[in-house]
Chain A
């Protein structure tokens, strides 16, 4: 009986103790509270690229150190679910900071990367030393962005230890976002503006008029001259060339000889042209317009005339911004030139090289 009494007392004692402890826990006397670190203020993370899956991205962190004291390490933990310190962290899908480099640091310096086995963690370390409250900045390069559009988070924690263990000194969360790029497309079509006429007003092809030049009665004592114009504009990347196609002036079997960079010689049978302002005889104009095209070889010297079927008479190796050429024609005849109506039809062909 006595032993039974003793056992019961012991049991009651145990129960009593348990009851007291329960009551004390209920009263909150043994409640454990998470000690919250001071917050890192004015904190931000700036990315060099917000495209999903982008590689070699730089992340620049800026924040104000809140607590004066020893700092030996800083941890940057990237999460897809929450920036809250202490909450479970899910690494952002596709994110990779394993090969991150510390490309710059300021305010709190002397850190180097402490290799982390986690793709979503960057840890920097130094010999623990005093940190002065104030602005700090760290830039990491060679990071791969998350693979999902939308928000992601970073938790920044400073530690007195040099290996990010123990209680954090200061901490703060950040949010950033992956977004779509804007793709801009614009097409510039190839174009060529080319016109010819006896005259063209300004640089407006709609004003081109006349397709017949009458030299009148040919004389062995005086050079006969005439002119026409052509205008060109093109965005051909490799420019253009203009060829003159057609025979010299003929009347039946009677032919006026062509010229080859020769001077006008009245009394000598000649047919030639150039694209310059001439004095002997007085005919033609130099090339006009903002473009850069030039008369071709043999057609670019004042008072010297040439003609050869198929010759390139003008051109530019670059795109042309409105260029107007004036073609000067001369006809000379010998005293014994057989009579007749001498004529020719010239065709100008502009070839743009895109």
Chain B
């Protein structure tokens, strides 16, 4: 029993001794001689965190707390540790060999020298202690790996300091370690598709070509409506016609019109002949003259501008046109257009016709095709 207790006691003493020894030794094991102060309020702001980015600006900022006068600063870049004196490997493809000092605040007259892959020196006129200053260093290449890397900043009282290497930095006034990090660039993709919405309607369309009806124009007066030589009739209030245009085409859109009758006017024989002839260039249609034409009002409502073509709008709403060669060409005659994107812009089309006393009796028709073309 006594033996057992003795053994136990010895063991305990050994343990306590070990603990005390470790407690006493540990501070010594883990630290070097603290002969420098700590640089406070330190940071390095980088202009680009993308891996392998070149021409990156590093703005080193800190507040010097040394009571002495600082005349040089050394910055080392390491991949694994910011700690003073620790082993240091330049992070990946990081390079400061092309570094240049492009700005400084809180001081002046400093220059950069000794730039290598992971190291450079900034030195010059002294500055007072406890001052906040920044040094902007350009021309740095970031590491190629995503993740953390470190910088170590040393200040010296001597302009030509006794820095030897990263593990032997020499007589340091103050020191501070900084953690940096590269990060993945966030790629943002957003697709905006080309759009062109165009409709022709017998009723003024609502947004998005809503509320449309099949356009059917009857020209004439009286009941039933007939064309006579006594007056010119239009569809402005009786059977109106509208277009609506919406497009994100960068260069806008053009609306063209074609007449199904190869003669360009109103025909009672399928387009072979037009006893009610196309008006031609814009102008008035006189009562007693057999002519057919169009007036385009130009855009209203919505967003953006749709402009009537001057050939179909000379400023007088009772002037009409129907250019024979153009409305019977392959792609038709431009009647209105926009120079950029537009949304829900309506335009009223007014057709008009008159008959002469000799215009043969009959039912005259035409099919007008409207075609919108956007340039994206």
**Chain A contact residues, CB within 8 Å of chain B:** 27-28, 33, 42-51, 58, 60, 62, 82-84, 149-151, 153, 172-177, 179-191, 233, 235-237, 318-322, 354
8 nearest interchain CB pairs?
Answer: A319-B358, A190-B361, A175-B196, A186-B219, A177-B198, A237-B360, A182-B368, A44-B375
Nearest residue in B to A172 (C-beta to C-beta)?
B376
Task: Give the distance in Å from the alpha carbon of A45 to the alpha carbon of B374 in the complex.
Answer: 7
Contact of B372 (CB < 8 Å), options: A50, A172, A320: A50
For residue A249, give the distance in angstroms from its CB to the closest CB of chain B.
Answer: 36
Residues of B within 8 A of A190 (CB): 361
- Whole-angstrom CA separation of A2 from B362 in the bound complex: 108
Counting residue pairs across A and B whose Cβ atoms lie within 8 Å, the total is 193
A173–B376 CB distance below 8 A: yes
Whether A50 contacts B371 by the Cβ 8 Å rule is yes
- Verify A322–B357 contact, CB threshold 8 A: yes
| B168 contacts the other chain (CB 8 A) | no
CA–CA, A42 and B249, complex, Å: 9
B31 on interface, CB distance cutoff 8 Å: no
A60 to B282, CA, bound (A): 28
Knowing A44-B376, A172-B376, A180-B200 are in contact, say whether A187-B364 is a contact too (CB < 8 A).
yes
Number of interface residues of B (CB under 8 A): 65
**Chain A residue contacts of B256, Cβ below 8 A:** 46
Shortest B324–chain A CB gap in Å is 16
Is the pair A50, B369 in contact by a Cβ cutoff of 8 Å?
Answer: yes
Give A28's nearest chain B residue, CB to CB: B184
B196 lies within 8 A of A187 (CB): no
Q: In the complex, which of the residues A149, A185, A189, A319 contacts B217, with contact meaning CB atoms closer than 8 Å?
A: A185
- Determine which of B197, B251, B349, B363 lies in contact with A185 in the assembled complex, contact meaning CB atoms within 8 Å: B363
CB of A186 within 8 A of CB of B373, answer: no
Docked Cα-Cα span, A320 to B360, in Å, equals: 10
- For A187, give its contact among B193, B220, B260, B292 (CB under 8 Å): B220
Majority secondary structure of chain A interface residues (helix, strand, loop or mixed): strand
Q: Is the CB of B359 within 8 A of A42?
A: no
Cβ-neighbour of B194 out of A58, A175, A189, A354 (below 8 A): A175
Chain B residue with Cβ nearest A34: B189
Please judge, given known A-B contacts A151-B195, A174-B374, A319-B358, whether A180 and B214 are in contact too, CB under 8 Å: yes
A189 touching B361 by the CB < 8 A rule? yes
Given A83-B194, A174-B376, A186–B224 Cβ distance below 8 Å? no
A44→B231 CA distance, assembly (Å): 43
Contact B258 A186 (CB under 8 A): no
Separation in Å of the A194 CB from the closest CB of chain B? 13
Asked whether any CB of chain A lies closer than 8 Å to the CB of B203, the reply is no
**How many Å lie between the Cα of A33 and that of B188 in the bound state?**
12
Question: A191 contacts which of B201, B258, B361 (Cβ < 8 Å)?
Answer: B361
Interface string of B188-227 (1 = CB under 8 A from A): 0001011111111100000001000011111110001111
Cβ B351 vs Cβ A184 within 8 A: yes
B374 pairs with A187, CB closer than 8 A? no
| Between-chain CB contacts (< 8 Å), 7 pairs | A50-B372, A83-B194, A84-B193, A175-B195, A180-B215, A187-B226, A189-B226
B276 at interface, CB cutoff 8 A? yes
15 new A-B contacts at CB < 8 Å, known A172-B376, A235-B357, A321-B357: A48-B330, A49-B369, A176-B373, A179-B199, A180-B215, A182-B215, A183-B366, A184-B351, A186-B292, A187-B226, A188-B227, A319-B357, A321-B358, A322-B357, A354-B360
From residue 248 to 269 of chain B, which have CB atoms closer than 8 A to chain A?
249, 251, 256, 258, 260, 266
Q: Is the CB of B218 within 8 A of A185?
A: yes
Minimal Cβ-Cβ distance residue in B for A189: B226
- Chain A's nearest CB lies how many Å from the CB of B287? 14
B173 is an interface residue with CB less than 8 A from chain A: no
A179 touches B370 (CB 8 A): yes
Cβ–Cβ contact B360 & A188, under 8 A:
yes
Q: How far is the CA of A321 from the CA of B357 in the complex (A)?
A: 6
**In whole angstroms, what is the CA distance A221 to B291 when docked?**
58
Please measure, in the bound complex, the distance between the C-alpha atom of A188 and the C-alpha atom of B368, giving whole angstroms: 20
Determine if A187 and B363 form an interchain contact, defined as CB atoms under 8 angstroms apart.
yes
Question: Does B247 lie at the interface of the complex (its beta carbon under 8 Å from any beta carbon of A)?
Answer: yes
Name which residue of chain B comes closest to A354, CB basis.
B361
